[in-house]
Amino acid sequence: MSSCDYLNIVPDNTIELETMFETQEQAYGALSTCYEYMPNWGWLNNSMSLAGDEFIVRLDGGESGNPDRMPGEKLMKGWNSAQNPYLCYWNGGKNASALYVGIRYCNLFLENIDKVKDITDEDRKDWIAQVKILKAYYHFYLARLYGPICIVDKNLTPSASPSEVRLKRQPVDVCFQYVVDLIDEVLYDENGNEKTDLKDDRPNEFLGMVDRTIAKAIKAVVLLTQASPLFNGNAEYYSNFKNVDGELLFPMEKDNEKWKRALDATKVAIDAAHARNKKLYKYNADGGANIEFFDKDVWGKSEIVEYCYNNRYSILDPWNDELIWGYSNVGSFDQGTFQHASQCRRPDNQSVSDYSWQWLCASYRMGELYYTKNGVPINEDQTFDYDNRLDIVTIPNDTYHLGYMQPNEKTIKLYLNREPRFYSWIAVDNCYWRNQQTKLEMHMKYDEFPGGRYSTKQDDFYWSGIAIKKLVHPESLNEHAVRMVRYPNPIIRLADLYLMYAEAYNEYYGPDAEAYRYLNEVRKRAGLPNVETVWSDGTIVKNINKHQTQEGLREIIQAERLIELSFEGHRYFDLCRWKRAGEFFVSSVKGWNARSGRTYEDFYQVTELQARTWETPKNYLFPIPLDDINKNPSLVQNPGW
């Protein structure tokens, strides 16, 4: 029974089931165990968020060169293999959650929760519903990474035969349908009427646990993924990919009705969110927010400050009205989160690394990604001097950059007249960074501070010269654990659902006012004009009326999504499901010459910082561990591995 036991056998060495489910308190511990297998969104050494090309880590041997550190980055360097897989959610190897073990615990819970005597019927139904959604989500997360997976609907007993144990991989459409059916089992009765077993409101101490709105949002994400090019008719990559029985594991023909299913599910999720008064975040400068107001001196004077507050704190204001589902298992005192690694240091504490590692930074590509202030890409805006974007210029003393760039200092044209999200979420040389009631003047060149490399700390600096403010709470303060403000990492927020709706609508119906509706809501919050307005203005855009074609609007929606959800763990999965990963992940990540650039001329040199590796179609799917392939003759390996 040794082959792939984690797939389907009752867990060994657990406490007796009679004790595990003897009281409600003990059963709650079992419920918590089911949640413990959630993929980690907040820790550098456990998260998929470092996969892709957004982040650049500390590039010395102790961090980037350490095989046990930051496995998400190792995926992009070509270190992954079937013999030694990184972030292996299949079996829990290399710092990943063992999702099949999590599924086993979910099954164990569902099989035994009826034994609990002192639990109310309401709580029992709610807990069962939560665990079914977790079980569905774990199956989905595996399918998103591995494609066709083994479905583990029930645990087998130790007396199960070898043929029962040796599960085969199911076609991806079967996998997605299993997940959707399990979610629907929680949400609807046999007549299609909505059930209320799963609660739709949680007390503060239980925020982050699954509710009905979260379940509907997960269903929308699942169906959007299934409708996307990687999984929807991908004969280009997987025409010969079959399981042990000779079944094709990917559909060969595109089914456009999958986009309609995704569209309908997303609308249901949006309506559910609206019914609970979920809305795009807007900072209340008059009070009511969970964040102190630091910018009274420029509020009402700066053209962008209000939009910058709206966007930055949509992430950092804990459990705000925009958040649909947040990952809350992120501590403040234990170091190792994205916030710790992104946080800059204050000038009076240059050598103190506690809670401010000051090295997790953005790639050069991310600095170019954000729009101009007109709300279009920098290479499509006629008013933006794209060809001379690296020219060194003086920062103007004007109202547009007020509060975010240091007037009369030097920068490059690339960093002027950009959209508010750029200034809200990105930090560059000679910008300002709010840090616990202090407006820090950032300096990224060699031997400058804060942000730059200097003699006593050769490794703790922003290696690309481009820092990330998006993940750092403005009240967090380096050196003091009590000043690291905890917030949930967003898994799904309302802006995500809005952009999902725009994407699915355009793919099914094409461009029209309904396709623009929610897209424009996200842009409005960001301080940008409507799509129809700017893309029909020939004095601004080079490709006039681009938004009126399905292909053109697809590019606009995808760009909006890559910007709005940047650094939140979506980019890797989005580029993969769009079959665009090869456009981006095959090339080296770049930044400025922050290692040695002392002058503006030396610093502003686009520099290759780390080589990356990507093979198409091989890297679109993770490898199944070779040990499992060898033990289970019913398992087939993913192509290329």
Average pLDDT for residues 584-606, to the nearest whole number?
98
Model pLDDT, residue 9:
46
At residue 541, what are phi and psi to the nearest 5 degrees?
-90, 150
Alpha helices, H only, 159-317: 162-165, 172-187, 212-227, 235-238, 257-275, 305-316
Residue that wins the pLDDT comparison between 20 and 193: 193
User: Chain-centre distance of CA 255, in angstroms?
Assistant: 27
Model pLDDT, residue 287:
63
Average pLDDT for residues 539-563, to the nearest whole number?
99
Model pLDDT, residue 191:
96
DSSP state, 150? -
At residue 179, what are phi and psi to the nearest 5 degrees?
-60, -45
Best CA proximity match to 52, nearest among 567, 617, 571, 621 = 571
How does residue 2 score in pLDDT terms, banded at 50, 70 and 90? Answer: very low
Least confident piece of the model among 87-101, 125-139, 182-196, 446-460: 446-460
How does residue 13 score in pLDDT terms, banded at 50, 70 and 90? Answer: very low
**pLDDT of 331 higher than 60:** no
The chain-wide mean pLDDT, for the chain, equals 93
Provide the 10 A C-beta neighbour count for residue 481.
13
Q: How far apart are CA 440 and CA 452, in angstroms?
A: 13
DSSP state, 546? G
Model pLDDT, residue 285:
74
Q: What share of the chain is helix, strand, coil (3-state, %, to 5)?
A: 40, 10, 50
Least confident piece of the model among 276-290, 303-317, 459-473, 611-625: 276-290
**pLDDT of 184 higher than 90:** yes
Average pLDDT for residues 116-130, to the nearest whole number?
97
**pLDDT of 127 higher than 60:** yes
Model pLDDT, residue 72:
95
DSSP state, 341? H
Q: How far apart are CA 223 and CA 175, in angstroms?
A: 11
Model pLDDT, residue 478:
61
CATH 1.25.40.390 domain locations along the chain: 5-246+622-631
**Predicted confidence (pLDDT) per residue in 220-243, tens digit:** 999 999 999 999 999 999 999 999
Least confident piece of the model among 73-77, 173-177, 437-441, 464-468: 437-441
Per the listing, tokens 């019914």 go with: 275
Model pLDDT, residue 518:
99
Model pLDDT, residue 356:
80
**pLDDT of 173 higher than 80:** yes
Average pLDDT for residues 436-457, to the nearest whole number?
86
How does residue 482 score in pLDDT terms, banded at 50, 70 and 90? Answer: low
Best CA proximity match to 572, nearest among 607, 612, 524 = 612
Cβ neighbours of residue 373 closer than 8 Å, sequence gap 6 or more: 400, 417, 418, 419, 420
Q: How far apart are CA 448 and CA 46, in angstroms?
A: 32
- Given a contact cutoff of 8 angstroms between Cβ atoms, the answer to whether 542 and 377 are in contact is no
pTM across the whole model: 0.95
- Given a contact cutoff of 8 angstroms between Cβ atoms, the answer to whether 307 and 407 are in contact is no
- Given a contact cutoff of 8 angstroms between Cβ atoms, the answer to whether 6 and 104 are in contact is yes
Fold category of 5-246+622-631 in CATH: 1.25.40
Q: Identify any residues that bridge with 56 across adjacent strands, giving them in sequence order.
A: 361
**pLDDT of 3 higher than 70:** no
**pLDDT of 534 higher than 60:** yes
- Given a contact cutoff of 8 angstroms between Cβ atoms, the answer to whether 110 and 60 are in contact is no
Model pLDDT, residue 64:
82
How does residue 335 score in pLDDT terms, banded at 50, 70 and 90? Answer: confident
184-188 own/partner pairs: CB under 8 Å, 24+ apart: 184/219, 185/132, 186/129, 186/132, 186/133, 186/215, 187/212, 187/215, 187/216, 187/219
Provide the 10 A C-beta neighbour count for residue 538.
11
Positive or negative, the Cα torsion across 622, 626, 631, 633? Answer: positive
